[in-house]
């Protein structure tokens, strides 16, 4: 009986959380964008304020879900994010990007190009200066710009959420960004137990137990070895292979 009540409570808590996220997606741009343009400063200052605002909103959202009993979490090694230029993480759940942005005050990330066609979201994306994942060359140029400006770029090299119980596979884009920008990599391992909010699961498929996120920030990985290759594309291929091996090995080790 208690288990049923707990599951019912978490189902309603999850429903409320997603409703809250949807309402926020509508209201935040309507509030944030006009407010940003009322304050003094140029476009870069407004974008930094917008990213800080989203960071705080996502922190509040995570804490709301924790308060409701929908999830619990622990984060290890968060101090290693200070000064990080390029964060690469595995992607087991829909909430991964929310967690990472909530952990990094000046985070930038690569978002789907279709958000540009969303009437509400496009204004928030434009205000924050998030990178649109459209043309590969433009992504590299934008990544170089945001890293040079001191922002922290977050990328999920898989490109989509992880399929549970399968070895992760990375696309070459993240390694290419690292090579082309000369940025060392801060790896982040994300565990979600039990698995939920994966690519093939809907929000209402609430697991029998409360989901627990364990986030491990690893020591930075230098890329000097890969920069020595005179052909950048060859260096990015080698780095991609090594990153796949690294993440699969470390995820198994810390499980």
Structural domains present in the chain: 2-254 (3.40.1130)
Q: Looking at the predicted structure, is the pLDDT value of residue 153 above 90? A: yes
Quick: pLDDT tens for 188-209.
Answer: 999 999 988 888 788 788 888 9
Query: Could you tell me the pLDDT band of residue 211, with boundaries at 50, 70 and 90?
Result: very high
pLDDT for 118: 64
> According to the model, what pLDDT value does residue 179 have?
94
145 confidence band (pLDDT: 50, 70, 90)? very high
By percentage, how much of the chain surpasses pLDDT 90?
Answer: 56
How do residues 60-103 score in pLDDT, each as one tens digit? 999 999 999 999 999 999 999 998 999 999 999 999 999 999 99
Residue 25: pLDDT over 90: no
User: Tell me, what's the pLDDT at 72?
Assistant: 96
3-state secondary structure 50-93: HHHHHHHHHHHHHHHHHHCCCEEEEEECHHHHCCCCEEEECCCC
The answer to whether residue 222 scores a pLDDT higher than 90 is yes
pLDDT 10s digits, 112-125: 766 666 655 677 77
pLDDT at residue 28 in the model: 80
Q: List CB contacts of 161: < 8 A, sequence separation 6 or more.
A: 91, 92, 93, 94, 96, 197, 198, 199
On the question of pLDDT at 59 being above 80, the answer is yes
More reliable by pLDDT, 39 or 184: 184
For residue 126, the model assigns a pLDDT of 78
Q: Helices 2-38 and 43-67 sit at what angle, rounded to 10 degrees?
A: 160
Q: Which helix (H) or strand (E) holds 139?
A: helix 136-148
């Amino acid at each position: 009986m208690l288990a049923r009540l707990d599951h019912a409570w978490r189902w309603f808590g999850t429903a409320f959380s997603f409703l809250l996220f949807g309402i926020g997606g509508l209201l935040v741009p309507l509030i944030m964008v006009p407010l940003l343009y009322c304050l003094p400063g140029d476009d870069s200052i407004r974008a930094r304020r917008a990213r800080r605002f989203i960071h705080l909103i996502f922190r509040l959202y995570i804490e709301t879900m924790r308060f409701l009993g929908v999830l619990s979490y622990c984060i290890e090694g968060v101090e290693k994010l200070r000064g990080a230029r390029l964060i690469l993480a595995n992607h087991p759940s829909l909430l991964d990007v929310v967690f990472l942005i909530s952990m990094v005050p000046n985070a930038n990330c690569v978002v789907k190009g279709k958000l540009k066609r969303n009437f509400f979201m496009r204004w928030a994306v434009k205000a924050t200066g998030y990178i649109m994942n459209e043309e590969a060359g433009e992504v590299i140029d934008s990544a170089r710009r945001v890293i040079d400006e001191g922002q922290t770029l977050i990328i999920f090299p898989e490109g989509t959420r992880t399929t549970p119980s399968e070895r992760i596979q990375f696309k070459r884009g993240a390694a290419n960004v690292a090579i082309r920008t000369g940025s060392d990599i801060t790896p982040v391992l994300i565990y979600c137990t039990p698995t939920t909010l994966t690519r093939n699961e809907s929000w209402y498929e609430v697991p029998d137990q409360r989901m627990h996120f364990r986030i491990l920030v690893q020591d930075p990985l230098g890329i000097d070895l890969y920069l020595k290759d005179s052909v950048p594309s060859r260096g990015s291929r080698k780095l991609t292979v090594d990153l796949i091996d690294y993440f699969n090995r470390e995820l198994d080790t810390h499980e």
